Structure 1
Amino acid sequence: MASFYGVSGRNLQYQYKDFLSDFKAWNQKSHSKKWLLFPENIGKRLSIDETSLSNGELYTILTNKSGKGRKGTIVAMVAGTKAETVIAIIEKIPLKQRNLVQEITLDMAGNMGLIAKKCFSNATRVTDRFHVQKLAIEALQEIRIKYRWEAIDQENDAFEKAKKSKTNFESKTLSNGDTLKQLLARSRYFLYKNKSKWTESQTERAALVFELYPDIQKGYNLAQELRGIFENTTHKVIAFAKLAKWHEKVNQSEFKSFGTISRTIINHYQTILNYFDNRSTNASAESFNAKIKAFRSRFRGVRNVEFFLFRLTNIYA
């Protein structure tokens, strides 16, 4: 706008902040860096998550799902992620209003669980299924990375051996044109996806990886089976039975990384199973975090954090 009218962008920004907007009269200005609270936005179904506003500084953000990422979405924003700090701010909302909350979705972080339990004692806590699935994918990638390092070591050994014997070294290529090292590096992408969404080259690459590394195929099947439980099961009791069978397969696989996930799921069993009541996730919170990041990029160069928060809450609170 400043360039359109041929005026200084910085001057226009100052004029807007100091004279055209209501920033100076904002009733949350004095504490906005530490916390923001909008009790009127509380609803029956909430999400709690953390987000980075600037320089990696984290804020805990409580949102109302019915706001759908528009006006009325933000219930609270608190600097930091310490449970006691966030609880102290959210408890400023009258207990009568907080007791109206029926459900709150969150990740598996202990601090988020404590905040939800203390502040919304009547609400059902639901662990976000996508965080659970992400752990399984990370465990699968850990297996792939282990084999990739082994392939790099083997190639280095072969290169050094050829150098000592003064012979030429050439990396062996597979039928799809990849070297073993490249195959394992490029396999990263298709392992995130269901095989129905693989491209032709990814299908070819997957066949080679699974033939050469059966453990990767076994890990992929475990990750996809866990995903399938969340996607295709509608009843909590059936989900419980399927997860029990999945745990048994994990035990038989003897994969340490998947064993860790199995234990994590067991420790959060009840809140994970609560997903199957209403199939609620933290997707709305993740989507809102993306909106905040996009909004922040438009304010690049604005050093006044309070003014940034003022503009943000004008739109979303």
Structure 2
Amino acid sequence: MSVGVETLFTSALGLVAPWEVAKVDLDTAKRRIDFEVRCNAKLLSCPHCNTPAQGIHDRLRRSWRHLDFFQFEAWLHADVPRVACTGCGKTTQVGVPWAREGSGFTALFEALALSLCRELPVRQAAALLRCADKPLWRRIEYYVQQARAIDDMSEVRTVGIDETSLRRGQHYITVVHDLAAKRLLFATEGRSHHSVLDFAQDLKAHGGDPAVVHHVCQDMSAAYTKGVGLALPAAAISYDRFHVVKMAIEAMDEVRRTEWRDQPHAVHAALGGTDRKVLKGLMWGMRKNPPAWSGQQISAMHWLQHSTLKSARAWRLKMALREVYGAALKHNDPRQAQADLSAWLSWATRSRLEPFKKLAKTLKTHFAGVISGMLDNRSNAFVEAMNGLLQQAKRAARGFRTAGNFIAVAYLRMSKLAHLPDHPFNPASAK
């Protein structure tokens, strides 16, 4: 039994009465297929008040870009009825089943576009879809806003707060992640204490309660500390061990750079007249943990440890701080952790290395939060990893035009939003 091409495509497009495909126009030269869709009803319910059996006032011509059929760009065209209602007195356009109101794309095309934008820069996704990137940005913003509006944050108890760079200069985005669910909760432009206050308001708007957030992992930003004190009153602050050790590495690097710049002959003499290549290996060896050393770095670090260079003392201080963290994690004894950290601070203060003296002063000021970070075994490693992915996305996109675009992509990729459209090419479920 033969089936007409219009009937075939009516089924393929998922149309049901009173909608049907009335005509199919294939242009192989333009690699395009156009579907003329018709509404056969004489009477329709009012879209505004649902009064049944209302007359059609007129019809408006509309077109929508659809998923490709075979290798051809596909478009749907329809004269969409407007209903003149005797009940409410309004004339309202009927919604079409294949697209949301006001969109020039079908719902399936938008779902594919969102799926591509999760993985690719928006400009590349637009090139694959053969459309402009600006309409894709509008759809990302629309669907992210809709999905976030019904997102549930009632279970949020532990959060990580950090900043990530938007562009060169002092342009930053504050990001707040749920460390338990490992997802992005909130992002906003800036990095002041108001950023944390804005997060608390957003948390309330999504069913969460700032008063039950009991732990915040962050860096030593005074602005974030102030914001947490004002907006999350029950939260204990722990300073992320990643940032503390990073500060020690930066202090070590500052000592090394100063010494190598100001006393190059002493450095070469202490290291046995080593060449530039070995110095580079030494630089990376100082930053890495010993198990990760290459053969060249093992040799360079052997020379360093037997020298009297300031760089050697700086490296020992950095490694000792790592050992303090390791002991705290192993023994989980607050008194022992406090004693170990106090001993390290005393050593750093007496080291005659200005970067480490400055670091010791900073850690003393935040002593309780540093100890909390040691014992809780919580870190912003996940947040840092997500920030890395955001920066990777920024580089791939060659930057974002606005902070809003950056934030929209962050939500799309990292918020695990449950109410975004499904990928249209997901395998059909077995029945």
Give TM-score scaled by structure 1 length. 0.76
More helix by share: 1
Instruction: Report the Cα offset of residue 289 of structure 1.
Output: 0.8
1:101 deviates by 0.9
Question: What is the CA–CA distance in structure 1 between the aligned matches of 2:382 and 2:164, rounded to whole Å?
Answer: 13
Matching residue within 221, 228, 231 for 2:316: 221
Highest Rg: 1 or 2?
2
Change (3 A) 1:299 1:139: closer
Cα offsets for 1:243-265 (capped at 9, x unmatched): 11112222332222111111111
Tell me the equivalent position of 2:362: 264
> Is 1:80 the equivalent of 2:190?
yes
Q: 2:290 — aligned with what?
A: 195
Tell me, yes or no, if structure 1 residue 107 matches structure 2 residue 219.
Answer: yes
Could you tell me how far apart the structure 1 residues matched to 2:134 and 2:398 are? Answer: 18
Deviation of 1:274 after TM superposition, in Å, equals 0.8
CA distance in 1, matches of 2:223, 2:389: 24
Question: Structure 1 CA distance, aligned partners of 2:130 and 2:371?
Answer: 54
Aligned to 1:313: 411
Are residues 1:94 and 2:189 paired?
no
Q: Is contact 2:254-2:355 (8 Å) kept?
A: yes
Per the alignment, in what secondary structure is the counterpart of residue 78 of structure 1?
strand
Aligned to 1:40: 152
- The aligned runs of 1:213-252 (5 Å cut-off) are 213-233=308-328, 234-252=332-350
Higher RCO (Cα < 8 Å, 6 or more apart): 1
Alignment of 1:98-137 (within 5 A): 98-137=210-249
Give the total of aligned pairs: 288
| Correspondence 1:178 to 2:274 | yes
State the distance in 2 between where 1:296 and 1:139 align: 29
**1:59 aligns to what SS in structure 2?**
strand
Structure 1 Cα separation of the partners of residues 252 and 362 of structure 2: 16
2:131 maps to amino acid: L
Q: Which residue matches 2:390?
A: 292
Aligned partner letter, 2:193:
A
- Cα distance change on mapping 1:199 and 1:76 into 2, 3 Å: same
Q: Tell me the residue number matched to 1:147.
A: 259
1:62 and 2:176 correspond:
yes
Equivalent in the alignment of 1:210: 305
Q: Please name the residue that 1:158 is paired with.
A: none
- Per the TM alignment, residue 188 of structure 1 is displaced from its structure 2 partner at its CA by 1.0
Gaps of 5+ in 1: 29-35, 156-170
**How far off is 1:27 after superposition?**
4.3
Distance, in Å, in 2 between the alignment partners of 1:37 and 1:87 is 19
The answer as to whether partners of 2:214 and 2:236 remain within 8 angstroms in 1 is yes
TM-score norm. by structure 2 comes to 0.58
Q: Distance in 2 between matches of 1:98 and 1:52?
A: 26
Give the CA deviation at 1:90: 3.0
Residue identity (%):
19
Paired residue type of 1:142: E
Compute the displacement of 1:291 (Å).
2.1
SS of 2:152's partner is: helix
Secondary structure at the residue paired with 1:275?
A: helix
Q: CA deviation at 1:80?
A: 0.9
* CA distance in structure 1 between the aligned counterparts of 2:352 and 2:149, rounded to whole angstroms: 48
> In the superposition, relative to structure 1, how do residues 38 and 188 fare at CA in structure 2: closer, same or farther (>3 Å)?
farther
More strand by share: 2
Alignment CA distance shift 1:267-1:258 (3 Å)? same
AA aligned opposite 2:187: M
How far is the alpha carbon of 1:193 from its aligned partner?
2.1
Q: Which runs of 5+ in 2 are unaligned?
A: 1-66, 74-125, 416-431
Which residue identity does 1:40 align to in structure 2?
Answer: D
The DSSP-based 3-state class of the residue aligned with 2:172 is strand
CA-CA distance at 1:311 after TM superposition: 4.3
Partner Cα separation in structure 2 for residue 92 and residue 123 of structure 1: 17
Deviation per residue, 1:61-102 (Å, 9 max, x gap): 11111232xxxx222111111223542453354397111211
